[in-house]
């Protein structure tokens, strides 16, 4: 990158740093510089009902998230300015290729080209969806598993698996309504395979009612 263009991006980064610092200062002056109780002029934020300060707690959480985002951007800008000084600015830190000027104009602090950034975001998304490593020690029926390949008798498992565990609690109600679930004719059909018969393989496995008769049916 030639000296003139490098100076142009240095100025953009300095201006972005100034803008972000001003935003951080506004968030601090708007209330983050004091405790929540202090900003409400209350002796305590513990009230008779937690909803009494629900709005204030939401606003405080939002401001904390905004400040976190601003500080992360400030770190990115500081790293970019260091790359300007050591002569590595404008090159992707993952693949080493030159980052297009159009991308630097839009996101001057970026350390990656578009292809590498997209790949990194996909990898991060996969890691976020991954289950905790501790679950690798758990085996069905205690692991998170939906083992039924279809209806009973078509390759599905008969053991109590993750699907059965969900069915056992979902039948008592979920946050969804029939309009949220395709083909759900009523509230009793809002979970996976809700039309499956619930019962036991043997009568000894069934729970009996006050009259001594099984409450379920043999499957």
The rounded distance, in Å, linking the Cα atoms of 110 and 90 is 9
Asked if residue 8 is part of any domain, the answer here is: yes
43 and 124 within one domain: yes
101 and 28 within one domain: yes
Residue 75 tokens read as 């770190």
Asked if residue 101 is part of any domain, the answer here is: yes
* Host domain of residue 12: 3-129
Average pLDDT of every residue of the chain: 77
Asked if residue 157 is part of any domain, the answer here is: no
Asked if residue 153 is part of any domain, the answer here is: no
Residue 152 confidence class, pLDDT cut points 50, 70, 90: very low
Structural domain tally of the chain?
2
Asked if residue 139 is part of any domain, the answer here is: no
- Between helix 3-27 and helix 54-86 the angle, nearest 10°, is 160
75 and 175 within one domain: no
pLDDT at 219 > cutoff 60: no
181 and 121 within one domain: no
DSSP state of 207: P
The rounded distance, in Å, linking the Cα atoms of 144 and 131 is 9
pLDDT at 38 > cutoff 70: no
The rounded distance, in Å, linking the Cα atoms of 168 and 170 is 6
168 and 118 within one domain: no
79 and 182 within one domain: no
**Residue whose token pair is 């305590």:** 44
Q: Domain holding 101: CATH number?
A: 1.20.120.910
124 and 167 within one domain: no
174 and 122 within one domain: no
The 10s digit of each residue's pLDDT in 131-144 is 666 766 665 545 55
In this prediction the pTM is: 0.53
Residue 153 confidence class, pLDDT cut points 50, 70, 90: very low
């Amino acid at each position: 990158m030639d000296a003139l263009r490098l100076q142009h991006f240095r100025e953009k980064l300095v201006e972005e740093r100034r803008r972000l610092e001003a935003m951080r200062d506004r968030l601090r002056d708007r209330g983050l510089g004091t405790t929540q109780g202090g900003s409400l002029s209350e002796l305590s934020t513990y009230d008779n009902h937690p909803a009494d300060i629900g709005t204030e707690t939401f606003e405080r959480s939002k401001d904390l998230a905004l400040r976190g985002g601003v500080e992360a951007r400030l770190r990115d800008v500081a790293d970019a300015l260091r790359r300007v000084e050591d002569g590595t600015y404008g090159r992707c830190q993952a693949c080493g290729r030159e980052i297009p000027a159009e991308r630097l104009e839009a996101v001057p602090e970026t350390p990656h080209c578009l292809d590498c950034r997209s790949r990194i975001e996909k990898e991060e998304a996969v890691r976020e969806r991954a289950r905790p490593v501790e679950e690798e020690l758990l085996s069905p029926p205690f692991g998170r598993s939906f083992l039924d390949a279809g209806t009973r008798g078509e390759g599905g498992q008969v053991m109590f698996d993750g699907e059965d565990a969900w069915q056992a609690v979902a039948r008592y109600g979920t946050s969804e309504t029939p309009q949220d679930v395709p083909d759900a004719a009523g509230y009793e059909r809002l979970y996976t395979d809700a039309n499956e018969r619930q019962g036991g393989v043997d009568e000894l496995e069934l729970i009996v009612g006050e009259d001594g008769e099984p409450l379920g049916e043999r499957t």
